[in-house]
Amino acid sequence: MNTVTLIGMAPLVELRRATKHYQIGEKPVIALKGIDISIQAREFVAIWGPSGSGKSTLCNLIGMLDSPTSGNVLIDGQEVDDLSDNARSELRNRTIGFVFQNFNLIPVLSALENVMLPLQIAGASSAVARERALERLTEVGLEKHVAHRPAKLSGGQQQRVAIARALVTDPALVIADEPTANLDSGNARRIIELMLDINASHGTAFVFSTHDQRLLESVKRRVLMQDGEIGSDSQPARPGTQTRIAGSRP
Ligand SMILES: Nc1ncnc2c1ncn2[C@@H]1O[C@H](COP(=O)(O)OP(=O)(O)OP(=O)(O)O)[C@@H](O)[C@H]1O
């Protein structure tokens, strides 16, 4: 499996002094206050922190789903702002896969058809899409459930389908925004373990967000968000760094 397609000297994704302001009526909301962060190829990064601290906004900027109010986003050293909308979408589709809190599967399609879809949209034949989708569903442990529609699957199984779908185009990076928010603690842990396994075996980089500190035990690089800024408890990307889990929720 050819997962990592961008292996330049530059980070996979870099944000420089990125801010994000929203306007609610008259009231401005400053969601990000000038973030500097680099995600390297093959990294596994947890973005954690309390509700409203800016985790989703940060994930959206890293994944090019949204643009910063000021500052820069670079993908493999290339300024995203310099790209046309089409070039930007093409780069995003080629580089990044997404997993969402609500799974976002298409209810009338089977697990297999859901996973085939990104490849078919990208122009792959049904035969190729089917073969690759089956491989990914097998990797996430769902080879016996390929014909099931989402409603016939548990939450944990639906999220596995969503992970298989995110991986099917062989992205260098998967962004998972609160992927465990709708799962019980056992399934939540298994989803994190699955992402860690895929990261270790295929080199796919992962950025996932959570407000649940208990899910951070196995994750070496943790970025703490606090009021739109990166907090001082964040762990830098250093191989072998393992940190003590602090006792209280952020
Ligand atoms: N589309 C929007 N319009 C207005 N304000 C927004 C919008 N999206 C986010 N915000 C605000 O920006 C701040 C950061 O929100 P964000 O969703 O990034 O935080 P979060 O840490 O992901 O929170 P949660 O864990 O609850 O999802 C919050 O004050 C939020 O209300």
Mean pLDDT calculated for residue range 226-244 = 64
Do the interacting molecules here have an ipTM over 0.85?
yes
> Residue 238: is its pLDDT beyond 80?
no
Residue of the nearest CA to atom 6 in ligand 1?
22
Residue 98 phi/psi, 5° resolution? -125, 140
Let me know how long the chain is: 250
Q: What is the pLDDT of residue 217?
A: 87
Measure the CA–CA gap between 99 and 161, rounded to whole angstroms: 10
Q: Which helix (H) or strand (E) holds 17?
A: strand 13-24
**% of the chain with per-residue pLDDT over 70:** 90
The string of pLDDT tens digits covering residues 137-188 is 999 999 999 999 999 999 999 999 999 999 999 999 999 999 999 999 999 9
* Contact present, 64 and 234 (Cβ < 8 Å): no
> Is pLDDT at 240 greater than 60 in this prediction?
no
231: CB partners within 8 A, 6+ apart: 49, 224, 225, 250
Question: Which of these, 231, 233, 236, 230, lies nearest to 244 by C-alpha position?
Answer: 233
Mutate to test the pocket of ligand 1, among 57, 61, 215 (most ligand atoms within 8 A of CB): 57
pLDDT in tens, 193-210: 999 999 999 999 999 999
Taking 3-state DSSP, the helix, strand and coil percentages for the chain, each rounded to the nearest 5, stand at: 35, 25, 40
Domains of the chain from N-terminus onward: 13-230 (3.40.50.300)
CA distances from 191 to 25, 31, 66, 115, 141 (A): 38, 28, 26, 17, 11
Q: What per-residue confidence (pLDDT) applies to 70?
A: 96
pLDDT class for 243, splitting at 50, 70, 90?
Answer: very low
How far from chain centre, in Å, is Cα 129? Answer: 22
pLDDT 10s digits, 103-145: 999 999 999 999 999 999 989 999 999 999 999 999 999 999 9
User: How far apart are the two ends of the chain, measured CA to CA in Å?
Assistant: 38
Confidence at residue 38, expressed as pLDDT on a 0 to 100 scale: 96
Q: Contact 17/71 with Cβ under 8 angstroms?
A: yes
Return the pLDDT at 2.
43
Question: Does residue 61 have its Cβ closer than 6 Å to ligand 1?
Answer: no
User: What pLDDT score does 236 carry?
Assistant: 59
Average pLDDT, the chain: 89
The band of 249, judged by pLDDT with boundaries at 50, 70 and 90, is: very low
The per-residue pLDDT for 82 is 82
70-75 and 221-226: which strand pairing?
A: unpaired
Closest CA to 213 of 184, 247, 186, 240: 247
Q: Is the CB of 3 inside a 6 Å radius of any atom of ligand 1?
A: no
pTM for the whole structure: 0.88
CA distances from 10 to 41, 65, 75, 76, 231 (A): 9, 21, 8, 5, 24
The predicted-structure confidence for 8-65, as pLDDT tens digits, reads as follows 578 999 999 999 999 888 888 999 999 999 999 999 999 999 999 999 999 999 999 9
**Which among 32, 56, 101 is the best mutation to test ligand 1's pocket, defined by most ligand atoms within 8 Å of the CB?**
56
The predicted structure's pLDDT at residue 110: 98
Is 51 near ligand 1, meaning CB less than 6 Å away? Answer: yes
* Residue 54 CB–ligand 1 contact under 6 Å: yes
Half-sphere exposure of 214 (CA within 13 A, CB side): 9
Q: In what order do the strands lie in the sheet with 70-75?
A: 27-39, 13-24, 70-75, 78-79
